[in-house]
Amino acid sequence: MEAFHPSLAFPFSYIFSTATSAGPSASLANTISSDPWMDPRIWSRLPRQLLERVIAFLPPPAFFRARCVCKRWYGLLFTNAFLELYIQLTHRQRHWFLFFKQKSPKNSYIYRNGGNSSNTANICEGYLFDPYELAWYRLSFPLVPSGFSPCASSGGLICWVSEEAGPKSLILSNPIVGSLTQLPPTLRSRLCPSIGLSVTPTSIDVTVAGDDMISPYAVKNLTSESFHIDGGGFFSLWGINSSLPRLCSFESGRMVHLHGRLYSMNYSPFSVLAYDVAANNWWKIQAPMRRFLRFPSLVESSGKLLLVAAVEKSRLNVPKSLRIWGLQSCGTTWFEMERMPQQLYVQFAAIENGNGFHCVGHGEFIIIMIPGSGKALLFDMCRKLWQWVPPCPYVQYGGGGDGDLHGFAYEPRLATPVTVLLDQLTNPFQSFSVVN
């Protein structure tokens, strides 16, 4: 087996450093050399197919460390046979989270009328969180152009949207391998719409809704448009959907995809906007205790739509709390599933101090981030366990909110074959011009 040469050029750039310690490497090497079960004369004869099968089961951090062993292991990521094996074997989902630094409002979604803006800055890195090991990793995004912000996640891909007002350009990025795939621009001019994404092994669905620019001085939530492509050969390039409900006042934010439907919070008063992709139909769902909610968020957890919010009913002598509701199968009513222990909520409220919080869910986990503090709570729905998340070691908190994180549910994947379908519809990504 050929030794890995340190000067070998990487086809993409990534930083996969961990915040946890692996222990003394010298001690580990001595243990391996003295262990008869690790005799290299035995393991060097391991069949190549069996070895690749073992590597395919490795979690991403271990996989990328293993690629540094030799050229052959390094090249596995570019071998169709290995990627096909990887896709067949990785049935167990990893419910991880990917966080990015939150841009300050003055630097994001700036309306520009043909001019350049010096405030546009590229988000160059993200922070991957493993809720099972409570470990943080850092990922770089060197190929994402300036003027794009992350807006949605599904199927191992992150969707980036252009910040400049007008028809929106979108990019699908695989953070693990650094790939970029361009989507055609939207039809309508918008400022900062809400965006929903659903990626399956055979299809891609994207919905962009709200913030229609009906004049240079007016933005309203009037329409939505959808993009669809699938392995059966059917595609729809930004067809205009049915009109949004009257008095729709949802602010720019993410949508939650579940069972062929997209859900988003609606404000003043609180309700939930729902969109059935197949039926092309929008409607409203009344939120629970809508008059007493504070900072509500929608999350998907283990196939259920959940609403997480603080509740304040001081006039009715009900203790303040943070609650989690689930949408019942009828699709119109909610039931309370969990409530943060009162003693923990007192600590949480003291840190939050009325400044708000935001949530993201994935699998059995829900993370509640408190902006400006570096603090976050992790709730395990299966074990009914609340615990504080260790601060991200790569972020300096404080100083005007530059260290605040907002996150997405993320399932790491080495390959997403369905993106190959987009190559038939769009020009190469190099057609984008990078804004300095």
Q: pLDDT 10s per residue in the chain (436 long)?
A: 333 333 333 333 334 444 543 444 444 445 445 666 667 777 777 788 888 888 888 888 888 888 888 888 888 888 888 888 887 776 667 899 999 987 654 444 433 333 344 344 454 789 999 999 999 999 888 889 988 999 999 999 999 999 999 999 999 998 888 888 889 999 999 998 999 999 988 899 999 998 998 887 788 888 999 999 988 878 888 988 888 888 888 776 789 999 999 999 988 778 999 999 889 999 999 999 888 888 999 999 888 999 999 998 766 566 789 999 999 999 899 999 999 999 999 999 999 988 889 999 999 999 999 988 889 999 999 999 999 999 999 888 765 545 688 899 998 888 888 888 887 665 444 434 333 3
Regarding whether 214 and 71 lie in a shared domain, the answer is no
What's the confidence (pLDDT) of residue 125? 87
Regarding whether 105 and 53 lie in a shared domain, the answer is no
Regarding whether 297 and 223 lie in a shared domain, the answer is yes
Q: What is the domain range of residue 189?
A: 96-431
CATH assignment at residue 260: 2.120.10.80
Tell me whether residue 13 is in a domain.
no
Question: Which of these three, 42, 71, 89, is where a domain ends?
Answer: 89
Tell me whether residue 7 is in a domain.
no
CA angle 249, 154, 299 (to 5 degrees): 50
Q: What's the domain count of the chain?
A: 2
Regarding whether 101 and 52 lie in a shared domain, the answer is no
What's the confidence (pLDDT) of residue 217? 78
What's the confidence (pLDDT) of residue 14? 38
Regarding whether 71 and 157 lie in a shared domain, the answer is no
What's the confidence (pLDDT) of residue 334? 96
What's the confidence (pLDDT) of residue 33? 53
